[in-house]
Structure 1
Amino acid sequence: MGKLQQGTTAFRKANLALFAGGFVTFSILYDVQPLMPIFSKEFGVRAATGSLTLSVTTFTLAIFMLVTSSFSEAWGRKIIMAASLILSSLIVIVTAFSPDFGSLLAFRVLQGVVLAGLPAIAMAYLGEEVEPNSLGVAMGLYISGNSIGGMAGRIITGSVTDFFSWRIAMGSIGVISLLLSIWFWLNLPESRNFKPKPLNLKGLFVSLFRHLRDPALLCLFGIAFILMGSFVTLFNYIGFQLLEPPYQLSQTIIGWIFIVYLTGTFSSTWMGRLSDSLGRRKVLWIGLLIMLFGAVLTLGEPLVLKIFGIAAFTFGFFGSHSIASSWVGQRAKTEKAQASSLYLFFYYSGSSIAGAAGGFFWAQYGWAGVIGFIIILLLCAFPLSVKLSSASVSSNAIRVKNK
């Protein structure tokens, strides 16, 4: 069957639908991040416990992304993506009525399970339905929906909470998401190049374990854990500090700080091009050093310096993530989708585990403790990148010898 081409109505509808899908997924996933200090105060829990509202979601998302793509191979792409978005939107609305913290966590666990339906499948849909010369534009718009959704979810919840309450803020996200999800369902073109396959979970796990035996891929998975763990830790606890003296910022202002995400739109493209001339490892080091520089700057007391540090940290994160994630596709010679799923599994596991662990350092040592924890994590990424390069060289030498 013919594939979607740039300039056609079907191509435009597919792109706008997937932009909306990415927006919904990541606004729902991260809408709790600016609310963590509110949860700690209202439910009487520690900062680390409050951060579980994000950690439990990203952890279940990471696990179920490994298997959701296999279900779509048998049942179809659009039906699972649409069901994922609509159910996720309804869960957000129900979550707004949580009577206690335990209920809130339970709904967020379920949220992670259901949300896994779109990220695991959207790229497969684009690869099947969009012709190669138009794929770059389509993929770029989908990823833009991800980043803008993550930013908007944080800003909307922060602002609405200031004027009303966190429950109304979360309910608002749910209603907006539900409308966009229905629009997604009605406008995304049906798959024309999808061919159902028998469900084969055994084959999936065999391929996953095969990738886990590759030393270079293991290094990339470790780097993914460190990058996202550091990033989420910083943003989980910066709100706690900015609510305290001498800043005492409002939830609205704290929510708008997430606009620094826009720096990642530039850095991911710029560092990707830079890697073509300097090599991936050197550019990855540059990204990590920028993250370290930004993290250290946030230790300064002036608010302007702190925000500049957050922006630099974000710039380095998105650039480093773009290098590491593209390296996975280059390294995995077979079953690339499974390799990418494993990368995302470790990526979101870092968000869950390190993001929650950062609460201990906040409680014991304040902001300096959080930044110290982040610095330790980032320093661990350098030896992994060295090991990654040596493993890649060794592997290439073996391939040449076997030819």
Structure 2
Amino acid sequence: MIESESPGFWRATAALCLASFMVFANLYVTQPLLPMLADEFNITAVQASWSFTLATLTLGLSLLFYGPLSDALGRRGIMLMTLCGVTASTLALSLVSSYEQLLLLRAIQGFFLAGVPAIAIAYMSDEFSRKALLLAVGLYVSANSLGGIAGRLIGGFAAESLGLSGVFMVMTGISFVCLTLVFHLLPASKHFQPQSLHLKRILGDIRGHLCNPPLLLAYIIGGFNFFIFVNQYSYITFVLVEAPYRLSTAMLGMLFLTYLTGTFGSAVSGRIAQRLSQPLCMALGIVILMCGTLLTLLPSLVAIIAGMFVNSFGFFLTHSSAMSWVSHQAQRAKASASSLYLVFYYLGASSGGLYLAPFWQQGGWGGVVVGSLIIFSLTLTCAAMLLLWQRRSALVS
């Protein structure tokens, strides 16, 4: 097994972090462009958000395919194949001439984007020791947030000087470099044990995960937190392009630098989990999320940005803890268990905007905050239930 902080640990972790960076940069590159898309294609804010929603929807659904497939065929090859697909679809996006074409290609891209998120944690579970896994998951998720930041910054700045086509050309070049590095750095699996690919077994594994309360509660926490968190960014862009803020597309891209606290939260989550229980880490992160959301109600650009910084730290602390919890609690078909968590996660991202839409229409940003706190109260309750379950299990054992 790969031990923490060994040369093999840093090589494998670097490869997975680069893959994660590439995936999430491509996924989020359109988010700061939503007001521009609405203007350029003469569509509404909700219609513009489909450029993000469709990619996350197909990503989430595809996780159900890649997890079981990797349990049968292996991890490394599938991850590399899907990264090739991401690069090719990004290049195709640079050639679109209509919004319908853009949506179709984003849906196809979402299918390929699912490969790494579905498999990376299972690869780590196969190859890393328990201590190494805790540290690697935190670094991997921090690369998620760095990719999200980079994609949004590239989208914001490149669009102003190069236009939409130029944004995707830049992303194609970055994706090709990342793909090449991952190919050379990612070690072949040494501890992977293949399972036969039978539909009945796959459905049985999924049913078993969903009937496992510690896993199901973690799925709900991850899915519903992301349901709100990522869609808050979509709605806040429409607040910040209007008076009194009137931010440009480039400045909207800069807003996503608030993800940097999420990078830090993910990176330290493994060390925090060595001192606090993972359910307690999840609950702490959700409370921080609620505080940051309330802070954005202050009518000040500084307060809004500070609130998003706080939100990002809280969200990624909870997300890293929940992902690691799922990996530990799944007794078999670990890739399927991790993939199912991410199915909840990305289906949450793709549907959260629809949930928040009536709150936005009726109350503007204040309505979005109310809708957010309702869901965070639900996930905090789930974290408390996990903590109670963990303590009861400790007493029984």
Q: Same fold (TM over 0.5)?
A: yes
Matching residue of 2:152? 154
Amino acid in structure 2 at the alignment position of 1:35: L
Contact 2:265 2:314 in 1 (8 A): yes
Match of 1:371 in 2: 369
Q: Which residue of the other structure, out of 289, 292, 307, is the alignment partner of 1:291? A: 289
- Aligned positions of 1:2-401 closer than 5 A: 8=7, 13-130=11-128, 135=133, 138-268=136-266, 273=271, 279-391=277-389
Deviation, 1:85, is 0.7
Partners in 2 of 1:151 and 1:68 — Cα distance? 26
Secondary structure of 2:243's counterpart equals coil
Q: 1:358 to 1:97 in 2, by over 3 A?
A: farther
State the 1:185 CA deviation. 2.4
* Aligned partner letter, 1:114: F
- Equivalent pairs counted in the alignment come to 397
Q: Is this contact kept in 2: 1:22–1:145, CA < 8 A? A: yes
| Per-residue deviation, 1:228 | 0.4
CA contact (8 A) 2:222 2:344 kept: yes
1:117-143 Cα shifts (integer Å, max 9, x gaps): 112222333344456675555545433
2: CA distance, partners of 1:130 / 1:326: 13
Aligned pair in 2 of structure 1 residues 261, 206: CA closer, same or farther (>3 Å)? same
Q: Structure 2: where are the runs of 5+ without partners?
A: none
Give 5+ residue unaligned stretches, structure 1: none
Offset at residue 51 of structure 1 (A)? 1.4
Q: Residues of 2 paired with 1:5 and 1:389: CA distance? A: 27
How far apart are 1:155 and its partner, in Å? Answer: 0.7
Q: Quick one: structure 1 residues 280 and 133, their matched pair in 2 at CA, closer, same or farther if it must change by over 3 Å?
A: closer
Deviation at 1:242, TM superposition (A): 1.0
Name the CA distance, whole Å, in 2 between partners of 1:227 and 1:136.
Answer: 21
Distance in 1 between the 2:335 and 2:173 partners? 32
Contact 1:20 1:184 in 2 (8 A): yes
* Contact 1:233–1:374 (CA under 8 A) maintained in structure 2: no
Alignment CA distance shift 1:218-1:190 (3 Å): closer
1:72-123: CA deviations, max 9, x gaps? 2333322211111111111012123222222211111111111111122223
Give, in whole Å, the separation in 1 of the partners of 2:193 and 2:371.
47
Q: Is the 8 A contact 1:34 1:239 kept in 2?
A: yes
| Structure 1 stretch displaced more, 165-174 or 213-222 | 213-222
Q: Cα deviations across residues 250-291 of structure 1 (Å, max 9, x unaligned)?
A: 111211121121212333455665566565555433322221
**Residues 309-338 of structure 1: CA deviation (Å, up to 9, x unaligned):** 111111111122233333334444444433
Give the partner amino acid of 1:292.
M
TM-score w.r.t. length of structure 2: 0.89
Distance 1:239 1:146 in 2: 21
Supply the distance in 2 between the matched residues of 1:18 and 1:110 (Cα, whole angstroms). Answer: 22
> Helix, strand or coil for the counterpart of 1:299?
coil
- 1:62, CA displacement in angstroms? 1.6
The change in CA–CA distance for 1:240 and 1:342 in structure 2 (over 3 A counts) is same
Task: Say if 1:249 and 1:213 are closer, same or farther in 2 by CA, change over 3 A.
Answer: same
Local SS of the residue matching 2:315: helix
Counterparts of 1:217 and 1:272 in 2: how far apart (Å)? 19
CA distance in 2, matches of 1:230, 1:100: 29
The C-alpha deviation readout for 1:369-401, integer Å capped at 9, x for no partner, is 22222122112223333444455566677x66x
**TM-score under structure 1 length normalisation:** 0.88
Whole-angstrom distance in 1 between the partners of 2:294 and 2:17: 35
Is residue 52–residue 356 contact of structure 1 (8 Å, CA) maintained in 2?
Answer: no
Q: Which amino acid aligns with 2:200?
A: K
> Which of the pair has more CA radius of gyration?
1
| TM-superposed deviation, 1:168 | 0.9
**Are the counterparts in 2 of residues 86 and 182 from structure 1 also a CA contact under 8 Å?**
no
Could you say what secondary structure the match of 2:115 adopts?
coil
Q: Secondary structure at the match of 1:241?
A: helix
TM-aligned CA deviation for residue 49 of structure 1: 1.9
State whether residues 47 and 359 of structure 1, in contact with CA within 8 Å, keep that contact through their aligned partners in structure 2. Answer: no
Identity of aligned residues (%): 36
**Structure-2 change in CA distance of 1:372 and 1:150 (3 Å):** same
Paired residue type of 1:376: I
Higher deviation after alignment, 166-175 or 180-189:
180-189
1:156–1:169 CA contact under 8 A, matched in 2: yes
More displaced 10-residue stretch of structure 1: 274-283 or 250-259: 274-283
Q: In structure 2, do the counterparts of structure 1 residues 265 and 44 end up closer, same or farther at CA, with 3 Å as the change threshold?
A: same
Q: Distance in 2 between matches of 1:194 and 1:271?
A: 26
* d(CA) in 2 for partners of 1:277, 1:12: 23
Residues 39 and 216 of structure 1, relative CA distance in 2, 3 Å threshold: same
1-side partners of 2:124 and 2:274: how far apart?
25
